[in-house]
Amino acid sequence: MKSALRVLVVEDEASTRQEMAALLGDMPEVAQVLVAENGAAAVRLLGVESIDAAFLDILMPGLDGMDVARVLSVMSEPPSIVFVTASEAHAVEAFGIGAVDYLLKPIRPERLAEAVGRIAQLRRPEAAAPPAEDLHVVQIDTGRRTVFVKRDDVQFVEAQGDYVRLHTAEGGHLIRLSLSYLEEVWASAGFVRVHRGFLIAIPWVRDLRVTSSSGLVAGTPAGDVPVSRRHGRHLRARLLEAARRDQLGRAANAQTTAPAPRPRDGEPDGSARRTP
């Protein structure tokens, strides 16, 4: 394991490319910054250089950031991927590919540093198997108040731009983490991927059904969660296994009344963070 990271910036706008390269070059976790002005140049560079992380603009002429990410994902030792874009429109697809983070332009130095810190942590040997109790409780500061959310109260998780939303019976709570990271850390608690933008807690699932608008969905007291064809069979197997082990009790014990509407508009006044 290298002591510092070799990172690649793929960005077609020269000013943004230079700004990101300069910011990354000043970070102690970064040993070297390589740059490419488009997807094709990035792929050529990958043929002769090894990297630990790639910061990819999504909308580029020719090969876009998603195309480059797919090339990276089939490498024998794929680098960590961070998408950089001006729109949240591709967030669900980005985390479905396995992105570590999703940054919105204009890039804020503190968000870039946060992404680099997360990459450095994930690439340490001990980060390959995070402790089962990591993020057992999350502390969320919203400016005027602090909310403590227990992992066992979270019924499903939804990717939303730079954040994920933790859905509980009381409503939704935004925290700045990637869906892929939570999928890994919370796997031991029964959280499974059911869609490229959603995780669900197996003990909270009360039924599976097919709808005319969304196809297959998994019902929880906090709301319905879409289930993709790719993940449907695995989810059914996990539910059957949980039922045999009598681990489907949370939904049965939850109130059957509809939960209060979950806030969808606006962002928190402050930032969300993990508790130690």
Main-chain dihedrals φ then ψ at residue 93, nearest 5 degrees: -65, -40
Query: Which regions in the chain score pLDDT beneath 70?
Result: 1-3, 92-95, 124-134, 141-144, 161-162, 249-276
Q: CATH number for the 5-128 domain, one of 3.40.50.150, 3.40.1260.10, 3.40.50.2300, 3.20.170.30?
A: 3.40.50.2300
pLDDT of 94 = 67
Sequence-distant (6+) residues with CB within 8 A of 259 are 169, 170, 171, 221, 222, 223
What pTM was computed for the model?
Answer: 0.49
Residue ranges with strand state E in the chain: 5-10, 30-36, 53-57, 80-85, 101-104, 137-141, 146-150, 156-160, 163-168, 171-175, 191-195, 198-201, 207-211, 215-220, 223-226, 272-274
pLDDT of 175 = 81
pLDDT of 173 = 87
Q: Where are the domains of the chain?
A: 5-128, 137-274
CATH number belonging to domain 137-274: 2.40.50.1020
Main-chain dihedrals φ then ψ at residue 43, nearest 5 degrees: -65, -40
pLDDT of 254 = 52
pLDDT of 197 = 92
pLDDT of 130 = 42
pLDDT of 68 = 93
